[in-house]
Amino acid sequence: MPENMPHHNPPANGIYDVTIIGAGPAGLFGAFYAGMREMSCKIIEALPEVGGQLAVLYPEKWIYDAPGYPKILAKDLVKRLWEQTARWNPRLCLDERVNLLRIGEDSIMVLESDKGVHYTRTLIICAGVGAFSPNKLKNETVDRFEGRGVYYFVQDKTPFRGKRLLIVGGGDSAVDWALNLKDYAKEITLIHRRDQFRAHPSSVTELMSSPVHVMLYHELKEIRGDNHIESAVVYDNRTKAETTLDVDYILLNLGFKADLGPIKEWGLEQQAKRYLKVNNRQETSIPGVYAAGDVAAQPDVEPLNLIATGYAQAAIAVNYAYTFIHPEAKVFPGHSSEMRL
């Protein structure tokens, strides 16, 4: 959850001027432009956090080609983007995946998600490579404790204070959370199924000299407990030798998968299978529906899937969406430097 969650005033009739699917850089910057145009705006994101690929795939990597920053960590760029966007108080729906689009009465678009129904005049799809969801372990005991001691994200670290924590994984998330929580939790064990980490080498060096108990070549076999987790059985995948760890919480950081899934079924024309086809106004084949960022491609133009190109496409999409609602208006929003913000 972003730290500075804004207070949001929903439109009286519940119908937003623009809804943006995806809170990656394109979606967040699009929401900023929607604010510039005083459009009521809702962002719906499948993950419980904003940032898209930057947040889940490379939060600790440096980005050198983000406009205005000679060098910035991906996670810090996400923070700055959110800060810039939050000033307009968009409605942010996290942990919610949009599954269906249909056109309802008076051309109002209806979006159905795994949590409810949303109404909007225009739609901007900034779905990147698809809805992210955490990789899960196929294990009945893990399923039993999901949300009751087994977590895939840390949205609030308070429950871990003074507790015994098992972290599973070898990527940036696993290592960063072990380091972040090492002075907060009572004790942390990190198990990883290999001896090579995908995490940033400097973080791994820090981990290895920290009090975190690291068990390489180990995997989770079983979680034990009644109402809450009491212990976890882990095993050495070379010798099959089992160890029982007394733990209170388990954090599974096993990476993410992305799935464009349902969006492909909405009748939008596609481009080279993986993209939504757009024209140079970022319009898709359905009037009022736009696409921007990694999900969008124009015919005969090789996609350049970068943060900077996504920003530009999102700005174009939002300003054309504005003229879709207000056909008499100019596409050009005016310069932000001339506004009194």
Residues that bind ligand FAD (CB under 6 A): 21-27, 44-47, 52-54, 57-58, 61, 63, 65, 97-98, 126-132, 263, 293-294, 305-308, 310
Q: Work out the burial of residue 211: count CB atoms within 10 Å of its CB; fewer than 13 is exposed, 13-18 middle, 19 or more buried.
A: exposed
User: Which DSSP symbol is given to 247?
Assistant: -
The smaller minimum CB distance to ligand FAD, of residues 178 and 307, is found at: 307
Rounded CA-CA distance 324/27 in Å is: 19
- SS3 label, residue 141: helix
User: Cβ of residue 177: shortest distance to ligand FAD, in angstroms?
Assistant: 19
User: Cβ of residue 222: shortest distance to ligand FAD, in angstroms?
Assistant: 31
The smaller minimum CB distance to ligand FAD, of residues 267 and 334, is found at: 267
Nearest to 198 by CA among 78, 58, 75: 58
What amino acid is encoded at 74 in this protein?
A
Structural contact between residues 191 and 174, judged by C-beta atoms closer than 8 angstroms: no
User: Cβ of residue 25: shortest distance to ligand FAD, in angstroms?
Assistant: 5
User: Cβ of residue 246: shortest distance to ligand FAD, in angstroms?
Assistant: 35
Contacts of 301 (CB under 8 A, 6+ apart): none
3-state helix, strand, coil in the chain (%, to 5): 25, 30, 45
The smaller minimum CB distance to ligand FAD, of residues 129 and 223, is found at: 129
Nearest to 319 by CA among 339, 303, 334, 297: 334
Reading the block at residue 328, the tokens are 């008499």
The smaller minimum CB distance to ligand FAD, of residues 127 and 245, is found at: 127
Element (H, E) at 271: strand 270-271
- SS3 label, residue 245: strand
User: Cβ of residue 20: shortest distance to ligand FAD, in angstroms?
Assistant: 9
Buried b (16+ CB within 10 A) or exposed e, 253-280: bbbbebebebbeebebeebeeebbbbee
User: Cβ of residue 103: shortest distance to ligand FAD, in angstroms?
Assistant: 17
The smaller minimum CB distance to ligand FAD, of residues 20 and 154, is found at: 20
Q: Which residue is nearest to ligand FAD (CB)?
A: 128
The smaller minimum CB distance to ligand FAD, of residues 188 and 292, is found at: 292
Reading the block at residue 15, the tokens are 């119908």
User: Which DSSP symbol is given to 7?
Assistant: P
User: Cβ of residue 37: shortest distance to ligand FAD, in angstroms?
Assistant: 19
The smaller minimum CB distance to ligand FAD, of residues 28 and 220, is found at: 28
Contacts of 76 (CB under 8 A, 6+ apart): none
The smaller minimum CB distance to ligand FAD, of residues 192 and 200, is found at: 200
User: Cβ of residue 66: shortest distance to ligand FAD, in angstroms?
Assistant: 7
